[in-house]
Structure 1
Amino acid sequence: MRKLLMAAVALSFCGSALAQQSAPAFQNNQSEAQRKAGGNQANAELFYMIERLQHEVRKLQGELEEQRYKLDRLSEQSRERYIDLDQRVLDVRKQLDEQPADTGSASPAGRGSDNAQGQQQKRESRAYRVPTQEEQQAYQAIQKLIHEDKNYDAAIDGLYEFIAKYPEGDLTVNAYYWLGEVYLVKPQLEQAKQAFSIVESRFPDHRKASDAAYKLGIAQDRLGEKDKAREQMRSVIAEYPGTKAAELAQSYLK
């Protein structure tokens, strides 16, 4: 009996030990599963956050491109209005210059003499403002954009800024001329025609006037205005005899 009692106690201890040994293994497996589930959830949340950020970035990039396009259009429209206004002022001046001083008393011969005298006064040389060192450096930077970098859009912006900052100077006339040249290359022929016309009409005594007059005829020709182009070339030959522009105009007419 005593032996049976001792055996029962031993079996009881063994059962308790086995239970204690098996319990941690089960609990460990459950904890590992929970950790994995938690890690998967964190990864899913991180992936979702990255997707949202990428979506926001794409949205912002689209809005930025749209604003950049609008700014480019506004800048282009401003430049066109600027040169168009300048051209209108020139047209008004030209009409005033062509009006006779006294239509009631002047004879046809007298009017012809007045027009010739007006043209002579128009061609008389005037003293252009000598450019400063800063102005020369700014002009050379624009020339680099045109001839070396071939960055014509940046050159156009630079030329407009130069004309606004340094008006009525010797290099200002050059800036108008090169504005026409760059527009001719792009090609934006209407803008080129207006720029060359400004040089020819406002600064007829400047060294760039003959070249601008010839290039105005080229712009007209490329726009399909053949009659105007031929008339312009004949005017170059008559107004600027002995110049390279007159030779080129003569070659064009041939």
Structure 2
Amino acid sequence: MRHILMATVALSLAGSALAQSTAPVYQNNQSEAQRKAGGNQANAELFFMIEQLQGEVRRLQGELEEQRYQLNRLSKQSKERYIDLDQRLLDVSKELHAAPKPSDGSVGSKGVTTPATVESRQYRQPSEEERQAYQRIQALIQEDKNYDAAIDGLYAFISEYPEGDLTVNAYYWLGEVYLVKPQLEQAKQAFTIVATRFSDHRKAADAVYKLGLTYDRMKDVTEAKKRMRAVVSDYPGTQAATLAERYLNSN
């Protein structure tokens, strides 16, 4: 009886020990599996985020390349337009200087042949749309100081609204902006057109004076003084004539 009781107790202890030894192994295996599953999910999410970021970078790079292409194209077009219009300005200036002298005319102090009796022409008055376009260009010059955009706008204005009252102003301001930059050859061309082709316009006196200043900056004092004397003799009583006299007295 005693042996049976001892065997029962031994079996009971062994079973308890076995139960204790097997339970942690199962639990440990389950925890490890959960950790691995959680790690795999985090890796998958991280991989997905990286893929998204890489896709966004590729998209932005594509947009950047497209914008760079557009900027290069616009820059090329602008340069071609500048070259074309600058050449047109130069051609007009050369034609005016090469024009034959009429037999019933006289040569004024500006060095340009003028009729014996000059009659002011009637310039086309601008439309409201034309005025607004001109005001936008003036804002670029006076307020924004964005001279490159202003030059582009003036060329476009001259092409869009030829032979108008404000068109002459646009030629004059083209000279002013080029004088500020300074691009003196282009400034000379623009002022010459106003001074010769539109000599009866209200901006003509200022254009001749600024043409003199342009020659002065180009170190051609002889031509500068010639233009200043032209302002005094051909446009007496104007502010430009007063400024021209001041220049002549100081040089």
TM-score, L = length of structure 2: 0.80
Cα deviations by residue, 1:208-234 (Å, 9 ceiling, x for unpaired): 111111111111221223332222222
* CA distance 1:121–1:61, shift in 2 (3 Å): farther
* 2:215 and 2:223 in contact (8 A); partners too: yes
The verdict on how the C-alpha distance between 1:216 and 1:77 changes in structure 2, with shifts beyond 3 A counting, is farther
Structure 1 stretch 173-182 or stretch 113-122: which is displaced more?
A: 113-122
Q: Per-residue deviation at 1:32?
A: 0.7
Q: Does 1:89 align with 2:101?
A: no
Alignment equivalent of 2:115, drawn from 114, 120, 125: 120
Amino acid of the structure 1 residue aligned with 2:163: E
Counterpart of 2:176 in structure 1 is 181
* Contact map agreement 1:122 1:204 (CA 8 A) in 2: no
Q: Does 1:204 align with 2:199?
A: yes
- Equivalent in the alignment of 1:3: 5
Amino acid in structure 2 at the alignment position of 1:3: L
Contact (CA 8 Å) 2:123, 2:163: kept in 1 or not?
Answer: yes
* Aligned pairs for 1:30-49 within 5 A: 30-36=33-39, 38-40=41-43, 42-43=45-46, 46-47=49-50
Distance 2:214 2:79 in 1: 20
* Aligned-partner residue type, residue 215 of structure 2: Q
Contact 1:139–1:171 (8 Å) recurs in 2:
yes
Residue number in structure 1 paired with 2:236: 241
Q: Does 1:225 align with 2:220?
A: yes
Aligned-pair identity (%): 42
- Distance across 2 between alignment mates of 1:68 and 1:121: 53
Query: CA 1:170–1:235 in structure 2 vs 1: closer, same or farther (change >3 Å)?
Result: same
8 A Cα contact 2:92 2:193, kept in partner: no
In the other structure, the counterpart of 1:103 is: none
State the partner residue of 2:32. Answer: 29
Partners of 1:226 and 1:62 in 2: how far apart? 50
TM-score (norm 1): 0.79
Alignment match, 2:75:
72
1:160 paired residue number: 155
Structure 2: 5+ residue stretches without partners: none
Structure 1, 210-219 or 32-41: larger mean CA deviation: 32-41
1:176 is aligned with what amino acid? Y
Distance, in Å, in 2 between the alignment partners of 1:16 and 1:177 is 104
3-state SS of 1:119 partner: strand
Does structure 2 conserve the Cα–Cα contact (< 8 Å) formed by 1:80 and 1:191?
no
> Residue 97 of structure 1 aligns to a residue in which SS?
coil
Kindly tell me: are residues 65 and 253 of structure 1, through their superposed partners in 2, closer, same or farther at Cα, counting changes over 3 Å? farther
- Superposed CA RMSD: 3.0
